Structure 1
C-alpha cells in the first residue's frame, strides 16, 4: 500500500527547490547570535528565538511585497562578515538536507553583503565555503544534497552587469546561474539588458523575478526582451488565461490561453512558484486559490518552492503538504512536480538525469507502492 501522505512521510521524499533566498532562510537563533557578535542585537524586534521567528512571519504576512521585503533589513544586517555568511550558508544546506531536499539552488545578492568591508569575491568565497561545509555535515548524517547558487542583482540598483560578470567568473566553483530580485513595480527587467545580453553571450543560465507583484508586461519583458530561462514566481501568467465555472475541473475544461500563456506553456518555461509566500505578498488570496492548481492541470512546467523559509515559516515538506491537502495530490503528483524542478535546474543535463534516476524516482517509488 502507498504510504500515507503526511508531514512525516513527505519529509522523507526526495525534493528539489529552485527558488530559495539565502537571506530569507536564517534560523532565528542564528540571527540573534550573529547580531550580538556585531552589536546589532538592540536593533532586533526580540532576542528570544521563538518570538523573533513569529515576528518575521507576522511582518511578512501583510499582503504587501514592499513590506515583505523590509523584513530582510535584519537578516542582511547580520550577514556582513565572513563568519556570518559561512554560518548562514552551512546551516541552510543542513536544514534543507534535513527536510529531504536532494538538490537546491540558493539565490543571494553579493552586493548586499559588502557593507562590513568584504569585497564581492570575499563574500562569494565565504558563502560557497559555508555551503560546502553544510553539505559535508549533512553527508556525515547520511543525507545527500547538492547545492548550486544563483548570484542575484538588485533590480533597483545599477550593478547587474558587475554581478553577472561575477557569476560567470564563479561558474565552475558553485555559481550555476544569475537572477534579479527586488520590488518589480517601477523596475522592469529591461533596465538590465546589458547584463542579460552578456550572460547569453557567455552561455550562462539566468532566471528573473517576474509576474509576482507586477503583471503580464513583467513576464513578457523577462522572456521576450531579456531571454530568461525560468520565471521567478510567474504567478500572474494566470491573467492571460480565461475560464468559467466554480470548480477546478470546470475551469480546466473551459480554459482558454492567451498568446503569452500559450507561449510559456509551449516553450516549457519553468515557473518557480512559492505558494505560501505568494499568499503573504498578496499575489494569491489563498493556497486553494493559487494559480498552481490550474496551471498544473493545464501542464505548465510548474515547480514548488519555499522562497523565504524564515518569513513564511515554511519548508518544502510544508509546501508540498499544503498542496496535497488542498488539491488532493498523490505521490505521483508530488513526483511530477519534483521531476519538473530537476529538469529545470541550471546544472548539466547528465547531472540532472542522474539525480532523477538515482534519487527522485526510486524515492517516490518506495513511497507509492
Structure 2
C-alpha cells in the first residue's frame, strides 16, 4: 500500500522547480530586516504576519499588472550585495526544506542597481548566496542544487546586455536566460537580437509567454525566438477544442508544442491570482496533463502566492486527484527539461527522484 498523500508526506518527496522568482520568494521577516537595515520606509506593515498577508492579498487582484506591483517592495530591499546574498541563501534553504532537489531560480539583475551595484557584482552576490544556501541545506541533511536564470525585463531595452551576462556566467551555474514583465504590448520579438545571440552561443533560454496574453505570444516565443521552454504557457489551451462527448481536438500550434515536447512551466496558484484562470478546477493543467503535454509544476512567487512546491502538489491532489505517480511524472518532466547537462539530469533522476518516489509508491 502506497504512502498516504498528504502535505507532510509530499514534503518528503523529491521535487524539481523550474520557475521561481528570487524577488518573489523572500521570507516576510527578511523583508522587514532588510528594510530596517537599508532605511526602506515604504512597507505597508511592520510585523511579519501582517506583511505576509498583505503580499498575498495585494497579489490576489486578478491582474498581472497589479500582481507585479507587489515586487516594488521586495526589489526595494534587495539593493545591496549582502541583501542579495542573504535572500539567495535563504531561498536555497527554504526550497531544500520543502524537498526540492533541483531548482532554477530566476531574477532580473537590472532591477538591483539603484544603489550602484554593477551587473557583475549582482550576479556574484546571488551566486555566493546560492552556494552558501546549498552548504547550509547539506549541513541540515538536505541535498539541493540551484541553477540560475537571468531575466531581462521585456519593457526595457537591455535584453542583449543581460543575455551577454548570462553567457559570461554560464560556467558559474547561471544555466539560462529569460524575459519577464508584462506581456501585453511587449511581444517576445522585441528581443530578437538577444535570442539570436544566445542561439549562436549554444546557450539555453525560456520565455514568459501565454500567461496574460494569448496564442500570438506563444507562437512568437517558439517560432520567431526559438524558446526551449514556455514560462506559464496556460493560453495554449486556446488552441484546443473539447467536444461535449470529451473528444479533444488540438490546433496546429498546440499539436506542435506537444509533438516537440516543449516544456510548460505551469504555476497554478499564481495563475489564479493573475486572472489567467478563474478556479483551480478550471486550470488547463488538468487537460494538458491528460493529453500528455510536457507539463511541469512550479511556484512562480512563493511569497506573493503563499505557496511551496509541496502545497502546489497538495492542491493538485485535492482538485484533480493526482497522486505519487503523477507527482513523479511532473518531477521527471521538470528534470528532463532543466538546463543542466544531460549526465547531471540523468544522475538526479536516477539517484534522487526515482528512489524517492519508489519509497512513496510501495
TM over 0.5: yes
Asked if 1:26 corresponds to 2:19, the answer is: no
Deviation of 1:361 after TM superposition, in Å, equals 0.4
- 3-state DSSP class of the match of 1:133? helix
**Partner of residue 191, structure 1:** 190
Cα deviation 1:54-106 (Å, max 9, x = unaligned)? 00000000000000000000000011001100000000000000000000000
**Partner of residue 213, structure 1:** 212
Cα deviation 1:35-66 (Å, max 9, x = unaligned)? 001111x3100011000000000000000000
Deviation of 1:244 after TM superposition, in Å, equals 2.4
**Partner of residue 171, structure 1:** 170
- 3-state DSSP class of the match of 2:282? coil
**Partner of residue 53, structure 1:** 52
**Partner of residue 3, structure 1:** 3
Cα deviation 1:176-231 (Å, max 9, x = unaligned)? 00000000000000000000000000000000000000000000000000000000
Deviation of 1:270 after TM superposition, in Å, equals 0.1
CA distance in 2, matches of 1:319, 1:122: 34
Asked if 1:285 corresponds to 2:278, the answer is: yes
Deviation of 1:330 after TM superposition, in Å, equals 1.7
**Partner of residue 361, structure 2:** 368
Task: Tell me how large the CA RMSD over aligned residues is.
Answer: 0.6
- Structure 2 residue runs of 5 or longer lacking an equivalent are none
CA distance in 1, matches of 2:318, 2:332: 20
Query: How is 1:1-369 mapped onto 2 (pairs within 5 angstroms)?
Result: 1-40=1-40, 42-245=41-244, 251=246, 254-369=247-362
- 3-state DSSP class of the match of 1:17? strand
CA distance in 2, matches of 1:325, 1:63: 22
Deviation of 1:325 after TM superposition, in Å, equals 1.1
Deviation of 1:174 after TM superposition, in Å, equals 1.2
- The aligned length equals 362
Cα deviation 1:161-187 (Å, max 9, x = unaligned)? 000000000000010000000000000
- Structure 1 residue runs of 5 or longer lacking an equivalent are none
Deviation of 1:366 after TM superposition, in Å, equals 0.2
- 3-state DSSP class of the match of 2:281? coil
CA distance in 2, matches of 1:263, 1:234: 13
- 3-state DSSP class of the match of 1:311? coil
Deviation of 1:286 after TM superposition, in Å, equals 1.0
* Structure 1 moving runs of 4+ over 4 Å: none
TM-score w.r.t. the length of structure 1 is 0.98
- 3-state DSSP class of the match of 2:265? strand
CA distance in 2, matches of 1:285, 1:275: 11
